[in-house]
Structure 1
């Protein structure tokens, strides 16, 4: 599990967290968000998505798959010191840039030359938006694949798994091995955008699990009627065996 997944409950971080409320702090961040959305709207996985798109017929030089999972994997692959140093969209920029380098859309030399030749006055105007990207913005890509087929019911006591992590995970590190209670079962079976290697990928139920803070943080937990809730894929839950 990457270090950045263990933030819950950690003490002694290098500096206080900055709770920035603005969605975009600088104008270039809007452009990075737009690039990410365009990449998702042209991703070749959309041919089998819900709804399905005629993605093979779209005239674009982008012929790869790009989803939220790819964006998250790129950020999680960063050196932990860089991860904590950079702001939110700086992580996006790093992950997207590395993706284009790895896939051969651009070389490091071409990128360096382009960066050296740019000045603030060279900023391009608003780009034209592809019809396919507009369709994606309107209709999206639903991960729901079926009605729910849950193994656990509301009120079930469960333990969170401690499976080995691969390059990407949706399981917060501080919940591993902890016990909680199923608070809600979502109405569908949901696929993830890729197979992460730690159990998720194929369609499965998603739950909201309630945790007592004392179960997670022990004597350091604050007093009072508090609970922590987490949305978790079924692969991350296991039953608690009753003692005979």
Structure 2
């Protein structure tokens, strides 16, 4: 498991010396945010998404799928030393750049050549592309695909699985193997737009699970009536031994 998947349970991390409050620190960060938004609004999975989008009618040369899951995969797949060295949008830039290289939209040589050129000016886009991206920004893409079909019930004790983590996971490392109680079952079966290889991707129930801090941190947990809650996909949960 990569270090960036385990931060919630680590101790002794360096104290934060600066807390940047600006959303964008440099001008290029706005551009990479805009590129990401356009990629999401033109992703080919929107043809079967909810609500329906006429993506096949949009005259774009972008013919691949791009979601938040793809962005997170690109960032979390980085070497841990690089992951903690770069700022937020620098990770975005690295993930998006590698995606375009891997998919053949641009080569490393072309990128190197463009870096020596002046900053690009604004270019016009086709109205259909603008309309599609704006519609996506307004309506989004719901991951809900059905009513919930839960395997576990409210009040049931469950153990968090310890499935192998690939380049991206939605399971916090510090919860692996811990036992909690189902507090809530969300109303639908929810898809995760990318199959991460650790069990999620297809629609499934999502639960709010309550954990006693002592279960997670042992005697080092701070005293008091505290509870930790985590929203977890069903694939990340299993019955405890007494219930199996």
Name the counterpart of 1:65: 65
Name the counterpart of 2:34: 34
CA distance in 1, matches of 2:124, 2:9: 43
RMSD: 1.9
Name the counterpart of 2:214: 214
Name the counterpart of 1:12: 12
CA distance in 2, matches of 1:126, 1:134: 17
What is the correspondence of 1:137-156 to structure 2 with a 5 Å cutoff?
137-156=137-156
CA distance in 2, matches of 1:209, 1:105: 42
1:56 and 2:59 correspond: no
TM-aligned CA deviation for residue 28 of structure 1: 2.3
Can you give the 5+ residue segments of structure 2 that lack an aligned partner in the other structure? none
Larger mean CA deviation between 166-175 and 35-44 belongs to 166-175
Name the counterpart of 1:202: 202
CA distance in 2, matches of 1:19, 1:200: 33
CA distance in 2, matches of 1:197, 1:127: 39
Contact 2:160/2:178 (8 A) holds in 1: yes
CA distance in 2, matches of 1:25, 1:45: 32
Q: State the secondary structure of the residue aligned to 1:152.
A: coil
TM-aligned CA deviation for residue 201 of structure 1: 0.9
TM-aligned CA deviation for residue 18 of structure 1: 4.7
TM-aligned CA deviation for residue 219 of structure 1: 1.8
CA distance in 1, matches of 2:186, 2:21: 29
TM-aligned CA deviation for residue 143 of structure 1: 0.3
- TM-score by structure 1 length? 0.92
Q: State the secondary structure of the residue aligned to 2:9.
A: coil
1:176 and 2:176 correspond: yes
- TM-score by structure 2 length? 0.92
CA distance in 1, matches of 2:133, 2:81: 35
Residues 22 and 182 of structure 1: CA distance in aligned 2, closer, same or farther (over 3 Å): farther
Larger mean CA deviation between 125-134 and 175-184 belongs to 125-134
1:124 and 2:118 correspond: no
Deviations 1:31-82 (A, max 9, x none): 2111111101101111111112121221011111111111011001111101
Contact 2:9/2:173 (8 A) holds in 1: no
Q: How many equivalent pairs are there?
A: 241
Can you give the 5+ residue segments of structure 1 that lack an aligned partner in the other structure? none
